[in-house]
């Protein structure tokens, strides 16, 4: 769908695992309580995903918008509030 390289597909598999294990379990509570998804953001930060599009020389992954869209798609399938 996104025509990702092997390296980019590995990034999506990593975020998918984080989303399954550390984001999805909180989604119902986040929506029910209209809460900020702190646990989910912390999980993404721990995985280095808050720097997804930041250039490597500044500590990020240096990925483009195609990968960002794929990451948001994976996260949004588990918790739309976190993907916003």
Is 52 inside a domain boundary? Answer: yes
Q: Does residue 74 carry a pLDDT above 90? A: yes
DSSP summary character for residue 67: H
Domain count, the chain: 1
| Nearest Cα residue to 43 out of 10, 7, 4, 78 | 78
Output the average pLDDT for the chain. 96
| 17 within domain boundaries | yes
Q: Which domain holds residue 74?
A: 6-83
Percentage of residues in the chain with pLDDT exceeding 90? 96
Mean pLDDT (whole number) for 34-39 = 96
What pLDDT, on a 0 to 100 scale, did the predictor assign at position 25? 97
Q: Is the pLDDT of residue 1 over 80?
A: no
d(CA 64, CA 47) in angstroms, rounded, equals 17
Q: What is the percent of the chain where pLDDT is above 70?
A: 99
């Amino acid at each position: 769908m996104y025509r990702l390289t092997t390296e980019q597909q590995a990034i999506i598999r990593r975020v998918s695992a984080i989303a399954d294990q550390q984001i999805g379990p909180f989604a119902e509570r986040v929506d029910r309580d209209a809460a900020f998804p702190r646990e989910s953001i912390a999980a993404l930060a721990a995985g280095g995903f808050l720097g997804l599009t930041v250039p490597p020389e500044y500590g990020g992954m240096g990925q483009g918008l195609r990968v960002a869209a794929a990451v948001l798609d994976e996260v949004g399938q588990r918790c739309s509030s976190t993907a916003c």
